[in-house]
Amino acid sequence: MSPVFPTTIIPANCRFLQHNIVLEPLPFPDNTFDYVHQRLLIAGLKPRDWVYVVQELERVTKPGGWIELVEVDGHGGNNGPMTQQLWNWIELTLERRGINVNIGTQPGLNNLMEQAGLVNIKHKIFNLPTGLHGGKIGALLKENEQALWIAMTPTVLHGTGIDIQEYEDAIIASAAEVEVFRSYHTVYSACGQKQTCPLPPLHSPDFGGSSPISPMPAPLSSRLTFVRSNIK
């Protein structure tokens, strides 16, 4: 796993933990956290895993606490031809691994929260520009997208059988296209509250015998964040 977490200047009440939620439950007791945040896992979870994962987040959240899920679309918007081709290759590669990149869009996130028994569900949808036309945020997103293409090179070549030169040429062309076409990414955010008197949990699927998810390069910061209050 890439060393994306800081090793210095860490708050005293903060710690980082690497854990595969698909293979085993989160290592926390029931009703532990006031707020749980999960983001950018559309390339890491298969459809059959999503229901279980959100139910597991609900388990470790305190009654009355909140869960937030944030995902991006799996293809971007206002793409030039080469940028669109890159997204097509990515989507094809992930589909062959059993991953649906559209599960994080709406109403998908809301449905997952409802299945987990959450209430007071609200969502927001907004666009983030990719490129210098979007200022500092757009420039950073463009840099991040380019890093994604590069990190995915061996995975995409293996998954599609395309030539490496064709792939690298598309990456170079994409860097210019996002400026010309004023490309963007759509972000989907959903927030739901755990009931103070929760309903009986839904039956969790039996994942016995399912193969572990192959590690995927992730320049985008995919993570879970847990916040626990010390107020009694």
What is the CATH number for 91?
3.40.50
Q: How far is CA 29 from CA 24, 58, 115, 130, 180, in A?
A: 13, 11, 21, 40, 51
The closest of 23, 192, 14, 4 to 115, measured between CA atoms, is 192
In a domain, residue 24? The reply is: no
Residue 74, domain extent: 33-227
Query: Which pLDDT score is estimated for 87?
Result: 95
Q: Give the pLDDT band of residue 225 (cuts 50, 70, 90).
A: low
What is the pLDDT averaged over residues 173-193? Answer: 97
Kindly tell me if the per-residue pLDDT of 91 is higher than 90.
Answer: yes
Cβ-proximal residues to 52 (8 Å cutoff; 6+ apart), any chain: 22, 204, 205, 207
217 falls within a domain: yes
**Residue 143 φ/ψ, nearest 5 degrees:** -60, -40
Residue 133 lies inside a defined structural domain of this protein? yes
Domain membership of residue 169 (yes or no) is yes
Q: Is the pLDDT of residue 74 over 80?
A: yes
pLDDT at 71 over 50: yes
Q: Does 26 fall in a domain? A: no
Other C-beta atoms within 10 Å of 189: how many?
17
Q: 37 in a domain, yes or no?
A: yes
Provide Rg for the chain, Cα atoms: 19
Q: How many domains does the chain divide into?
A: 1
- Per-residue confidence band for 215, with pLDDT thresholds at 50, 70 and 90: very low
The SS3 of residue 18 is coil
Q: What is the pTM of this model?
A: 0.80
DSSP notation for 153-203: HHHHHHHH---HHHHHHHHHHHHHHHHHTT-EEEEEEEEEE--SSPPPPPP
Asked if 61 and 128 count as a contact pair (C-beta separation under 8 A), the reply is: no
Is residue 111 a part of any domain in this protein?
yes
Residue 46 within any structural domain of the chain:
yes
